[in-house]
């Protein structure tokens, strides 16, 4: 039976193999569609998967959530449907929004509405950030700019 809630602690995020140095730098937590490297979470206390095991995720009809760090591949993009909310959980992150550079620190958040071009800029600083896609169209709602 899948869970209807998911508690994600920073202590568990810090141990996630996907967020370690030389790893991909991103982990999905809530998705609109479950893929083969994911499995529905059965425990409300999220924990990173063992190497090679599917990641536990919460499936939601129109919301996605991920955690990422400076190692994640980034590109300028926009969404036709989703509003994205970025929250810096630790460190300092640079983001470009409609051509304007912004510096974000621990605890800062930004809300980006559909159609707005944005990109996380890797400036060598370490950070951990959450991104929440609300009213999300899923993986097909990300367009390069």
- The overall average pLDDT reported for the chain is 95
Residue 17 phi, psi dihedral angles, 5° rounding: -55, -30
The pair of structure tokens assigned to 55 is 């990641």
Q: Domains (ranges, CATH) in the chain?
A: 10-139 (2.60.120.10)
Question: CA–CA separation, 4 vs 20, rounded Å?
Answer: 28
The pair of structure tokens assigned to 63 is 């919301």
Q: Is the pLDDT of residue 135 over 80?
A: yes
Task: Give the pLDDT confidence of 60-82 residue by residue, as tens digits.
Answer: 999 999 999 999 999 999 999 99
Q: Is the pLDDT of residue 2 over 80?
A: no
Assess contact for 93 and 128: CB atoms under 8 A.
no
Question: What 8-state DSSP symbol labels residue 74?
Answer: -
The long-range contacts involving 34-40, CB below 8 angstroms and separated by at least 24 positions, are: 34/59, 40/2, 40/3
How do the residues of the chain divide into helix, strand and coil, expressed in percent and rounded to 5? 10, 45, 50
Task: Give the pLDDT confidence of 104-130 residue by residue, as tens digits.
Answer: 999 999 999 999 999 999 888 999 999
């Amino acid at each position: 039976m899948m869970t209807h809630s998911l508690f994600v602690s920073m202590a568990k995020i810090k141990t996630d193999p996907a967020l370690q140095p030389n790893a991909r730098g991103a982990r999905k937590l809530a998705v609109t569609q479950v893929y083969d490297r994911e499995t529905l979470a059965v425990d409300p206390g999220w924990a990173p998967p063992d190497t090679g095991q599917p990641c536990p995720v919460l499936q939601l009809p129109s919301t996605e959530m991920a955690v990422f760090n400076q190692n994640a591949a980034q590109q300028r993009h926009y969404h036709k449907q989703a509003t994205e909310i970025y929250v810096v959980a630790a460190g300092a992150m640079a983001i470009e929004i409609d051509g304007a550079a912004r510096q974000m620190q621990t605890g800062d958040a930004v809300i980006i509405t559909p159609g707005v071009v944005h990109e996380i800029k890797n400036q060598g600083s370490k950070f951990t950030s959450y991104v929440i896609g609300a009213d999300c169209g899923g993986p097909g709602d990300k367009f390069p700019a």
